[in-house]
């Protein structure tokens, strides 16, 4: 009577039918009485002082109901409380080409666009900062700081220095050491659905915003700040979301603008981005220059890692403080490296903002590390799989920078793809132009430390069971296509012993859904899943109490499964789920249960355990060290991955193809295997894009994006997608919901280095600059010749 009936089974997504039949309602599908069209006037300059804005002609145009400028909403906001550097519209100056200057609300889009053309803006163009190396230098005389509120000098946004062990000694004593300079172009999310927002103020002065967002709670907070409202006067509704990948995990200026225009016009306002606006808004992966060195002893044990990352943050802070830490901190797994030195510098430039993108902060450093690890193996005459297995962490370990590893299936991941791909027989023995490469990954299952250091849960789930026998689940965990609503339904159904057809999930409305911090950092399955289980346990106790009253048997003997409440010592005594529910609610009304999740052992008053660097930790040890930035990268659990890619390189054209990938991911426990497999396949496709084709290209010498459309921004077409053989490794995390860990972001990390290392096996060249375009391949082959 204890076998799992719902979790662990491949289950169609609970919202799948609505999506494939067209019933799903996205933000742009919503219409309201008197709905106006909002449009934003964008800056043609990278950096300019606003001297005056004349809006009278636009205001007088027939069909225009409101015009707004930055001075109408000057309060700054941002996703991180320590770097609030954004405003609804530019107040004193614009800081990138495309920055919002003014906005209008009109009866039609045509009228709105005409009104924008009538707005007269007088600016004084300022010298822009466009290159990372330029941003590191002191400001020249007469050059204005991009963001005066940033505390670092010049255009520096954040600097991180962390060191553990004796790196100098490790490199001095190493049998093998390698180093490399890596360059990564910026890439963006390119979701199917662009940004869309509707705002409406009620007659009572309450603001409602419908928005395609990953973070309803953070949006609610920012709207309350900008419009100086108590939070309960703001309602955020998240309709269906057509993809996010991190690109909708900030509160955005256009959401503030829609609310501002709605307030000024007294009517609801919708803002829908075109594709170019989506590219301009960006918040994609940071362009990065990474210098890295790695060392090992004669036996192949890794001894030291040194990283120097220079990161282009664009014009705003966004998640940049976290990015600055993650480029180093998340390199400390899945391998044991006792000495570690990291310097991370994020600079501000007059370009579209960078932010969080799938695998946030870990992708670029992972490519560099896995590449150098292959070079160490080559230098020592070791097999790349063997050196990874030798240095892999064990379960219940503590990294030098204080990351607590609970479950750890990295060895199983490596072994399964090694066998399935025929690695031992095929690598190094394929014809010229064909090769195999391996890459591994390590990623968080949610951030242990919330963005806002307040006493509140990281996730909460409320359940209600009424006379009809239906189970209603309320949560603010944002379903953005990853299947989180289905995970919640499965966890609750399993806990109550009922089928999924009884479960109704409501996660869209901040009025009816309890606090959850949103869909980012691969946190939802782990945190909301645990909250759902705990809520179901509390409701189950009430149902069992009803069964005990009806049967006269002790409540401790009952179990819920198969739509029944069964007395385990004598299974002939059983009630239907509905009968037990009705008895339970007879003298109390509807049954309610709530569960919450808070990352364990983060209470600063708890006694700290002795940290044994590189040794096994006590299970349940307090997470994190005492060094500056110790909270960055902390997670209740970490996923592990290992991929092997089969690569074809055409030496005549430089074109790289990937016909097959063997992908193993340690997800702890696959609550919904088909959804986990889909996440892995999607990560492979997205990572291939960054590895081979995708690049945020700027006009030489300016901040203008040259390829702000889906024709010129080269996403891997479906015809070039590889066959992906997926292996789900289940290490059963002791703290995860039913043992589960993340599977939405970590699976992206290994594919990039697997391709890069495969290219080396195929044609003998190491690629340091991404994307690996045909011209770069040909240049490397020419240099090799």
Question: Is 701:130 a contact under the CB 8 Å cutoff?
Answer: yes
If one looks up domain 16-23+453-597 in CATH, what number appears? 3.30.365.10
Whether residue 615 is predicted with pLDDT greater than 60 in this model: the reply is: no
Who wins on pLDDT, 384 or 702?
384
Is the sign of the CA dihedral 517, 518, 519, 525 positive or negative?
Answer: positive
Delimiting residues of CATH 3.30.365.10 domain(s) in the chain: 16-23+453-597, 288-445+635-784
Query: Can you read off the two tokens belonging to residue 59?
Result: 């205001």
| Residue range 156-179, pLDDT digits in tens | 999 999 999 999 999 999 999 999
The mean of the pLDDT values for the chain is 95
The model carries a pTM of 0.96
699 confidence band (pLDDT: 50, 70, 90): confident
Q: How far apart are alpha carbons 657 and 626 in whole angstroms?
A: 46
**CA-based nearest residue to 193, from 143, 238, 128:** 238
288-445+635-784 CATH choice from 3.20.20.70, 3.30.365.10, 3.30.420.610, 3.30.70.1400: 3.30.365.10
Would you say residue 485 has pLDDT above 90? yes
Query: Given a cut of 50, is residue 418 above it in pLDDT?
Result: yes
Q: What is the DSSP string of 8-55?
A: TS----TTHHHHHHT---BGGG---TTPEEEEEEE-SSSSEEEEEEE-
Rounded to 5 degrees, φ, ψ at 618 are -70, 135
pLDDT per residue as tens digits for the range 68-86? 999 999 999 999 999 999 9
For residue 467, pLDDT beyond 60:
yes
Domain with CATH 3.90.1170.50 in the chain: 31-126+192-243+248-281
87-101: pLDDT as tens digits: 999 999 999 999 999
64 falls in which pLDDT band (50, 70, 90)?
very high
Residue 23, Cβ density class (10 Å: 0-12 exposed, 13-18 middle, ≥19 buried): exposed
At 7-60, the pLDDT tens digits run 999 999 999 999 999 999 999 999 999 999 999 999 999 999 999 999 999 999
Q: Tens digits of per-residue pLDDT, 270-305?
A: 999 999 999 999 999 999 999 999 999 999 999 999
Omega within 30 of 0 (cis) for the link into 628: no
Spatial separation of the C-alpha atoms in residues 522 and 515, rounded to whole Å: 17
The string of pLDDT tens digits covering residues 446-457 is 999 899 988 899
In CATH terms, the fold of domain 31-126+192-243+248-281 is: Aldehyde Oxidoreductase; domain 3 (3.90.1170)
**At 504, is the secondary structure helix, strand, or coil?**
strand
- pLDDT score recorded for residue 602: 55
Give me the mean pLDDT over the 728-733 stretch: 98
Burial of 604 (0-12, 13-18, 19+ CB in 10 A): exposed
Q: What local confidence, expressed as pLDDT, does residue 616 receive?
A: 35
């Amino acid at each position: 009577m204890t076998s799992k009936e719902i979790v662990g089974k491949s289950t169609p997504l609970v919202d799948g039918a609505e999506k494939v039949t067209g019933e799903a309602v996205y933000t742009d599908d919503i219409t309201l009485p008197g709905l106006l069209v909002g449009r934003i006037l964008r800056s043609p300059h990278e950096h300019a002082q606003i001297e005056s804005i004349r809006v009278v002609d636009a205001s007088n145009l027939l069909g225009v109901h409101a015009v707004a400028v930055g001075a109408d909403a000057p309060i700054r906001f941002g996703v991180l409380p320590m770097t609030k550097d954004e405003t609804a519209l530019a107040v004193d100056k614009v800081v990138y080409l495309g920055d919002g200057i003014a906005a209008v609300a009109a009866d039609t889009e045509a009228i709105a666009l005409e009104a924008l053309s009538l707005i007269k803006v007088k600016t004084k163009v300022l010298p822009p900062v466009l290159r990372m190396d330029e941003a590191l230098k002191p400001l020249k005389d007469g050059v204005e700081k991009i963001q005066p509120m940033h505390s670092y000098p010049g255009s520096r946004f954040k600097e991180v220095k962390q060191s553990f062990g004796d790196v100098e000694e490790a490199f001095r004593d190493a049998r093998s050491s390698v180093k490399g300079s890596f360059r990564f172009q910026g890439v963006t999310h390119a979701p199917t659905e662009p940004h869309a927002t509707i705002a409406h103020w009620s007659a009572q002065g309450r603001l409602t915003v419908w928005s395609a967002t990953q973070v309803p709670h953070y949006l609610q907070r920012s709207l309350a700040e900008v419009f100086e409202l108590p939070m309960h006067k703001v309602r955020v509704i998240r309709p269906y979301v057509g993809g996010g990948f991190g690109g909708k995990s900030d509160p955005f200026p256009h959401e503030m603008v829609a609310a501002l225009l709605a307030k000024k016009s007294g009517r609801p306002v919708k803002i829908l981005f075109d594709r170019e606006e989506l590219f301009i808004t960006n918040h994609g992966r940071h362009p990065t220059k990474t210098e890295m060195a790695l060392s090992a002893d004669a036996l192949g044990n890794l001894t030291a890692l040194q990283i120097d990352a220079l990161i282009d943050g664009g014009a705003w802070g966004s998640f940049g403080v976290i990015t600055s830490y993650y480029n180093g901190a998340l390199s400390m797994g899945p391998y044991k490296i006792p000495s570690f030195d990291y310097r991370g510098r994020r600079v501000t430039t007059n370009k579209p903002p960078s932010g969080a993108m799938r695998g946030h902060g870990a992708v670029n450093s992972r490519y560099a590390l896995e590449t150098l690890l292959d070079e160490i193996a080559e230098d020592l005459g070791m097999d790349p799989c063997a050196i990874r297995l030798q240095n892999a962490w064990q379960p219940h370990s503590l990294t030098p920078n204080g990351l607590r590893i609970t479950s750890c299936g990295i060895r199983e991941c490596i072994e399964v793809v090694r066998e399935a791909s025929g690695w031992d027989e095929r690598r190094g023995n394929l014809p010229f132009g064909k090769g195999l490469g391996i890459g591994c990954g390590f990623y968080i299952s949610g951030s242990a430390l919330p963005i806002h250091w307040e006493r509140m849960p990281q996730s909460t789930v409320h359940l209600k069971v009424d006379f009809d026998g239906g189970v209603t689940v309320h949560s603010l965990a944002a379903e953005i296509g990853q299947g989180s609503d289905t995970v919640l339904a499965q966890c609750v159904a399993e806990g109550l012993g009922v089928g999924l057809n009884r479960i109704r999930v409501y996660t869209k409305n901040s009025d009816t859904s309890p606090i959850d911090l949103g869909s980012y950092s691969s946190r939802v399955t782990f945190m909301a899943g645990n909250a759902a289980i705990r809520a179901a346990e509390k409701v189950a106790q009430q149902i069992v109490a009803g069964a005990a009253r009806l049967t006269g048997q002790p409540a401790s003997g009952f179990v819920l499964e198969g739509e029944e409440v069964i007395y385990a010592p004598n299974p002939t005594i059983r009630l239907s789920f509905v009968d037990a529910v009705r008895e339970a609610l007879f003298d109390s009304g509807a049954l309610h249960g709530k569960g919450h999740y808070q990352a364990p052992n983060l209470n600063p008053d708890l006694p700290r355990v002795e940290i044994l660097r590189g040794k096994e930790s006590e299970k349940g040890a307090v997470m994190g060290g005492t060094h500056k930035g110790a909270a960055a990268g902390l997670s209740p659990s970490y996923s592990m991955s290992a991929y092997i890619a089969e690569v074809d390189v055409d030496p005549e054209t430089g074109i790289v193809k990937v016909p097959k990938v063997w992908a193993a991911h340690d997800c702890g426990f696959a609550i919904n295997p088909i959804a986990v497999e889909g996440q892995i396949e999607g990560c492979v496709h997205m990572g291939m894009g960054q590895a081979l084709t995708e690049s945020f290209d700027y006009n030489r010498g300016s901040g203008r994006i040259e390829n702000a459309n889906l024709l010129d921004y080269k996403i891997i077409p479906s015809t070039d997608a590889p066959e992906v053989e997926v292996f789900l490794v289940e290490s059963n995390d002791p703290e995860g919901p039913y043992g589960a860990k993340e599977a939405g972001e970590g699976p992206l990390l290994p594919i990039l280095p697997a391709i890069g290392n495969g290219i080396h096996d195929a044609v003998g060249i190491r690629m340091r600059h991404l994307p690996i375009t045909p011209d770069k391949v040909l240049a490397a082959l020419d240099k090799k010749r």
